Structure 1
Amino acid sequence: MKKELEEAISRFNSKHIELNVIKKLPSGKEAEVYLVESKTQLFALKVYKERLKRSFKNDQVYTQGKFYRRASERKAVRLNTGFGKALKQRLWIKREFYLLKKLFDAGANIPEPIEMVPNAILMKYIGDREYPAPLLKDATLTPKQIEKYYKVIKQDIDIFWKNGIVHGDLSEYNILYWKGKIYIIDFPQSVDVRNNSNAEALLARDKKNIDSWYQKVKKEV
């Protein structure tokens, strides 16, 4: 992953964004995340693994509805050539950044996206220099807080849907809790409502996952 990280840092430098890597943070299956600093401000740098190193389950369910402009691009993707793989990677990252901006501007509780390069996204860091924000699954909440954040998450799901997006993999494992707020993360498997026939099924699964978390934690307090 060192090569991809160095490439991302270099590309941000070319955009006059100088980043100093502090440490690696807990990461997911599609990318590695680093705590970085720029002009005394802390950010999270999400550097994507090469397509061959990523292992999305049921990938075709999520990629349905992603389009390529030229016939040559569609053919390369269909034949899974080296160019086609690189094209899918760039589109995936660009698309995630675009929808993050869209959802943040719509008022959804997500980390603010700052900038992107072809293999990485820079976003607001949630946490402090010593520790990142805990996942919702690890947060200690009062009954009142459980009710509050359950409603907030359901509202965010509605904001996503109204903006044509379904998270597609939502659970207490990809929601951060920090200083009285929640932040939904990990959007690479999100889908476009307009042109993905699986959108409603994925929406129902997201809601079911959050309902299950709610019922579970209510019994534990």
Structure 2
Amino acid sequence: MRDSEYDRAGRGRRRRFDDDEPRHLKHLPKVSEPSDVDGPETGDRWSTWDLSQAGERGPQPYPDWVVTELAAVDTELGIVKTGKEADVFLVRRGVPDTDRQCLLAAKRYRSTEHRMFHRDVGYLEGRRVRESRTNRAMAKRTGFGREMIAGQWAAAEFAALYRLWEVGVQLGVRVVPYPVQILGTELLLEFLGTADGEAAPRLAQLRPDGAELTDLWHQAVEALVVLARCGLAHGDLSPYNILVDDGRLVLIDLPQVVDVVSNPHGARIVNRDVRNVATWFAARGLAGIDADELTRELLREAGIR
């Protein structure tokens, strides 16, 4: 039986997660574009840093590694990850003929017809805009409403990363990548990985035990506490959207972040996030995890219990 027939028969095992998880970059063919006499001599485009407004750039002070020079150019090096809502590309931003450069993860939300936002009703409760016409369109999922909903994901993720970074700095911990800037539906974030472009592994790819397992659990709890102090729940937390960068646990993929105070399902979503992560650690032999007690502690941190 051919593979296609086997798939149609429904007897093949389906992957639980349908986004790619490459450790090394996959290169896509370049799309030819009209020549631009004002474009850079090298790279794919001029740095977009100056195109983002003050509120669309990361928290100050900017880290030293962030390239803010207007002479910088952006060079796309390949795709890091594909997902339901967005694709993540590796971009090098640097000033030509100097050693001033950095690697960025460019998260680009897909066009409306290619987005596959799932279970968005529960996450969007508590997110409202001022115009009643827009709210009605979003509720009815009209074409305009779907476009407005999709536009909220990138903005919500950037705002959450910004807030979590600031609170993390106050507490002396890093729980998210630094959000460099947002431009439309493209987020430019700190790239987590090696200098040659190998992405940091997801927690799900690791097999820690002993002291390493315990340390990662403590870091996971620490990250959940930072979320709670911001009044937020990740909304879709699992070992597949947690990276471990040189021993440091970092949360990624936060477009479905939930305000646990204004969202009527907030407490339930917090508990689900906790259980998703706790189950993974318990399955690897970590004893003494009480998901319900941790949920109660997080809700107290958020000020709603």
TM category (shorter chain) comes to 0.7 to 0.9
Instruction: Kindly indicate which of the two structures has a greater share of residues assigned to helix.
Output: 1
Q: 1:51 to 1:202 in 2, by over 3 A?
A: farther
Paired residues of 2:156 and 2:257 also in contact (CA < 8 A): no
1:210 and 2:277 matched: yes
For residues 30-80 of structure 1, what are the alpha-carbon distances to aligned partners after superposition, in whole Å with 9 as ceiling and x for unaligned?
100000000121010000012432223321011111101112322332343
* Residue-pair matches, total: 214
Instruction: Pick which of 95-104 and 137-146 moved more.
Output: 137-146
Task: Give structure 1 stretches of 5+ with no counterpart.
Answer: none
- Do 1:170 and 1:206's aligned partners in 2 also have CA atoms closer than 8 Å? yes
Give the letter aligned to residue 175 of structure 2: N
- Correspondence for 2:85: 30
Q: Is the 8 A contact 2:177 2:191 kept in 1?
A: yes
1:193 aligned onto 2:260: yes
Q: What TM-score does the superposition give when structure 1 sets the normalisation length?
A: 0.88
TM-score of the aligned structures, taking structure 2 as reference length: 0.65
Residues 13 and 19, structure 1, Cα contact 8 Å, conserved in 2:
no
3-state SS, counterpart of residue 180 of structure 2:
strand
How far 1:183 moved relative to its partner? 0.9
Tell me what 2:244 maps to: 177
Runs of 5+ in structure 2 lacking a partner? 1-27, 34-44, 52-69, 95-100, 169-173, 287-305
User: What is the RMSD computed on CA atoms of the aligned residues?
Assistant: 2.3
Output one character per residue of 1:127-165: Cα deviation in whole Å (capped at 9) or x when no partner: 122421111111242410110110111121121111111
Question: Aligned residue for 1:110?
Answer: 176
Distance of 2:234 and 2:109 partners within structure 1 = 18
Cα distance in structure 1, aligned partners of 2:111 and 2:285: 40
Does residue 123 of structure 1 match 2:159?
no
- Greater shift, 83-92 or 154-163, is seen at 83-92
**Which structure's relative contact order is higher, taking Cα pairs within 8 Å and 6+ residues apart?**
1
Greater mean deviation of Cα atoms: 77-86 or 91-100:
77-86
Query: How far apart are the structure 2 equivalents of 1:61 and 1:11?
Result: 37
Q: Which has the larger radius of gyration?
A: 2
CA distance in 1, matches of 2:139, 2:117: 18
Partners of 1:62 and 1:78 in 2: CA distance: 13
How far apart, CA to CA, are the structure 2 residues paired with 1:83 and 1:76? 7
Distance 1:206 1:93, change over 3 A: same
In structure 2, the residue matched to 1:73 is 134
How far apart, CA to CA, are the structure 1 residues paired with 2:118 and 2:145? 20
1:126, distance to aligned residue in structure 2 (A): 0.4
**1:178-215 superposed Cα distances (whole Å, 9 cap, x missing partner):** 21211111111111112111111111111111111111
Return the alpha-carbon distance in structure 1 between the equivalents of residues 189 and 175 of structure 2.
Answer: 13
Q: Which moved more, 1:181-190 or 1:53-62?
A: 53-62
- Identity, in percent, stands at 28
Q: Distance in 2 between matches of 1:86 and 1:12?
A: 24
Q: 1:115 touches 1:123 (CA, 8 Å); kept in 2?
A: yes
